[in-house]
Amino acid sequence: MHTIFKRFFYYLTVLFSFLFFAFIISSCTPPDVKETTNSQFFDLEGFLDNQIIQLDKKEITITKKTILQGQKDEQIFKKIDWKDEFAFFYASDINKRQLRDRYKIEKKPQEWIFKTEDEKLIVKEMKIIFNQNITSKSFKNVKEIVIVQKDKNNLYENDRTLIIKVKNGLLESYSIKGSEDVILNEKQGFLVEATVK
């Protein structure tokens, strides 16, 4: 019974920690950023929506590994709430008209890079990597997405790297790795990584 309660509270800790991080990301986005789109950017929200539609049509197995506060856990799912799983990624969408002057945009044949030094913006860099030898930049030709986040003030500092990998137009794996350093508390690292087969 003691072991069951320990695992229950561990899962609660994992859940609340990630909900807190997602809340911080969304609440720290400047209010003038939360609307419309700019075609110069990559439509991350549209990409994620498209992936969910495809994933929901297929029979898949998700193997999810979590490390939080030194505790390791592994679970296998046949079905999962993708909106919740992608919460961090949705919150990282910079496809906003009001952001057009806040990010430097570099577009190479197989790579789009968006960077900012604006301290108010948590998403510091987004990199979209496309399959080689393909001129079309449609969702199905995305190979990898890398998002770097940094959130810092006088009380805490959060760093996160989000990665999505795609194979043949369908999600292959995703991960969120980061750390939280709160004043007067020990720095904590966490990792969530999942593979889809």
**Model confidence, pTM:** 0.77
| Strands (E) located in the chain | 62-68, 71-77, 104-108, 111-115, 123-130, 142-152, 156-167, 170-182, 188-196
Q: Per-residue pLDDT tens for 18-77?
A: 444 444 444 444 333 333 344 678 999 999 999 999 999 999 999 999 998 889 999 999
CA separation for the pair 158, 28 (Å, rounded): 12
Q: Per-residue pLDDT tens for 157-190?
A: 999 999 999 999 999 999 999 998 887 777 889 9
